[in-house]
Structure 1
Amino acid sequence: MPSLHSNRGAKRAREARAALGLDLGAPLSCLLDVVEDVVGLPVVIATLLDGLAGACVPLGPTRLLFVNGTEPRVRQRFTLAHELGHHWCGHDGGMVIDTIETVAGKTTTPYENEANAFAAEFLIPKVALTGRFAGDPTPDDVLTLAAEYGTSGVMTHFRLRQCGLITEAASAAFHAADHGAAWERLGLAGYPDRIARIAQLPYLSPRLESTHLGAAVRGDAAADSRLAVALARLLAPSS
């Protein structure tokens, strides 16, 4: 059963889609565009320390969002939506560092539960799932939905479970299926957004490119003391 905090995170995601003028149920054409251009938050996608997924770092009156660019693209999208969730849900102004386990749902922390629920609803709104399948979704149905929304098969299956739209028998069939073979047989393609087209790390939002902050993230300039602490806790030495 959803908790108070997961319900709150999902509600904030629905409010965010409405406030940002996004279709309430359609796939996001590019999450990175939404975060940078519609919400107005700068993003860094870089090689983070082992075990880290991302972070939400205070930056004056706004936030700087970090994503581990060595993770699969579908996980990067979820992490970016999770970090956006911390901002949109109004979580306190301290630096939030998220581990891979946290964004995988292995957490009982209220703020993290809210951010995970925000990300799930923001990426695959419940309204888009209700009534989509005439019966139990097959493994092929789940993977097709994942390709359409740019999410992983596992996360998409979990989303259907969250919404009470898949039975235990169908879940077992999904887990037993050969997802790689099904992906090829169905001719499914990777999600064609800007995250998928990033060829070199670190990626910095265009607004950061010619700034001292951007130079500090790339290691070309010294960061102020507060940012230096954040970068030391996040970036792998080779970034």
Structure 2
Amino acid sequence: MSANQKVTNQALRAAFELRRSLSLTIFAPLHAMEIASQLGLDVRMEDCPSLEGMYLRDARPRIFLPHNGHRPRGRLLFSCAHELGHHQLGHGTSADKYLADDNEVSAKTPDEIAADTFASHLLMPRQAIVKSFSRRRLSLDNPSALDCFLVSQELGVGYTTLITQMSAGLKMVSYSTATKLKKAKPNDIRASVWADSRKTDLMVLDRHWIAPTCNVTRGDFVVLPSEINHTGTCVNPVATCTALPGTDVYEVVAKGVQPLNTSATTTVSLRVMDKDYIGTYPNSFLPEPPHE
């Protein structure tokens, strides 16, 4: 067995062992920042556009990330899971610079390869991908761009990241299928659901969503099932979503936490922060004090 294969296997085991230690099934979506915070790491967002992510190993381990205004939601969550991988694998302090071009090649050390492997399999194990597609009655034989977009949102990763994992990582789809899917741009996919989201961001929380949380930023749009039962002031209804029958579009208007009852048995915690929020992750959703 090669040295790289040993590193990869160790990272795989660490990802699955972490899920097991947290009593998370292999089918369950998870939120990387929630998990890191639950493990006692201080996750902080900073106004640092040149940073992809940083893990600081000391008596009080910390993860530093750029704020939501600098990166797409899915990329931030994968970066957080990557830095969490450094922590779980016993690596030392590590900082990753931002690569503006996803195709830009940067030589990776064994520790960086291990952290990427850990993040990929923590967030996107094969069983979780299969389950997310099957719950929505979507085909893995010939998935559409919108299919992959919906699943990537529930799993807390970027659209392209999911396709890469499904093709190169897990061999679930062919190279040609992955190439075709990657030609679709997330901005265009969002706009096909709700045109105004091209200017900001869009989260589709459908009736099949089982993740316990859904994190968005103020000014985004969120698509919810028409039968949704919610109380709170974080979102305002905008219109019926004709692109996805049985759903409505809401604008995200206020910071805070709002429960959403997507079914008789499932409640999702919708958590809203500002795009330029700087500070620790657990404080990012604190509502603003009332104006006197």
Q: Distance in 2 between matches of 1:106 and 1:137?
A: 30
The TM-score normalised by the length of structure 1 is: 0.72
Q: Look up the match of 2:89.
A: 89
Q: CA deviation at 1:20?
A: 1.5
Which residues of structure 2 form unaligned runs of 5+?
134-138, 195-201, 206-213, 218-270, 284-292
1:180 aligns with 2:190: no
Superimposed CA distance per residue, residues 46-69 of structure 1 (whole angstroms, 9 cap, x where no aligned partner):
112x43211111231x41111111
Q: Secondary structure of the residue that 1:177 maps to in structure 2?
A: coil
- Structure number with the higher helix fraction is 1
Deviation for aligned residue 1:100: 2.5
Change (3 A) 1:7 1:138: farther
Contact 1:150 1:190 in 2 (8 A): no
> In the TM superposition, what whole-angstrom CA distance separates every residue of 1:113-162 from its partner, at most 9, and x where no partner exists?
11111111111112223575451333232212112212111101111011
**Superposition RMSD in Å:** 2.8
Deviation at 1:206, TM superposition (A): 5.3
What residue number does 1:59 align with?
A: 58
**Among 168, 179, 185, the residue aligned to 2:175:** 168
Deviations 1:196-239, CA, capped at 9 Å, x for gaps: 733143222559xxxxxxxxxxxxxxxxxxxxxxxxxxxxxxxx
* CA distance in 1 between partners of 2:106 and 2:17 (Å): 25
Separation in 2 of the partners of 1:182 and 1:99?
28
Task: Tell me the distance in 1 between the aligned counterparts of 2:185 and 2:33.
Answer: 30
Q: Go from structure 1 to structure 2 and tell me whether the alpha carbon gap of 1:99 and 1:178 turns closer, same or farther (over 3 Å shift).
A: closer
Match in the other structure for 1:201 = 277
How many residues align? The count is 199
Provide the rounded CA distance (Å) in 1 between the counterparts of 2:126 and 2:186.
23
| TM-superposed deviation, 1:168 | 2.2
Asked whether the equivalents of residues 33 and 281 of structure 2 are also in contact (C-alpha less than 8 Å), the reply is: no
User: In structure 1, what is the Cα distance between the partners aligned to 2:66 and 2:193?
Assistant: 29
Partner of 1:224: none
Q: Secondary structure at the match of 1:197?
A: strand
* Contact 1:75/1:151, CA 8 A, preserved across alignment: yes
- Please name the residue that 1:139 is paired with: 145
Structure 1 residues 5 and 194 mapped into 2: Cα distance closer, same or farther (>3 Å)?
farther
Structure-to-structure mapping, 1:1-239, within 5 angstroms: 3-28=5-30, 30-36=31-37, 38-48=38-48, 50-60=49-59, 62-69=60-67, 70-92=70-92, 95-101=93-99, 106-130=106-130, 132=133, 133-161=139-167, 162-186=169-193, 189=203, 192-193=214-215, 197-199=272-274, 200-205=276-281
Instruction: Compute the displacement of 1:82 (Å).
Output: 0.7
Indicate the percent of aligned positions where both proteins have the same amino acid.
Answer: 23
- TM-score normalised by L of structure 2: 0.60
Q: What CA distance in whole angstroms lies between the structure 2 residues aligned with 1:134 and 1:66? A: 35
Q: What letter corresponds to residue 33 of structure 1 in structure 2?
A: E
Segment drifting more, 171-180 vs 68-77: 171-180
Amino acid paired to 1:189? M
Q: Is the 8 A contact 1:91 1:111 kept in 2?
A: yes
Q: Cα distance 1:138–1:190, how it changes in 2: closer, same or farther (>3 A)? A: closer
Between the aligned partners of 1:115 and 1:163, the Cα distance in structure 2 is: 17
SS of match in other structure, 2:53: strand
* 1:172-197 deviation per Cα after TM superposition (whole angstroms, max 9, x unaligned): 22123354333343566267227873
**What corresponds to 2:209 in structure 1?**
none
1:66, 1:179 → 2: CA distance? Answer: 25
Unaligned runs of 5+ in 1: 208-239
- Greater relative contact order, per chain length (Cα 8 Å cut-off, separation 6+): 1
Separation of aligned partners in 2, 1:174 and 1:194 = 25
Are the equivalent residues in 1 in contact too, given 2:74–2:153 (CA < 8 A)? Answer: no
In structure 2, give the amino acid aligned to 1:32: M
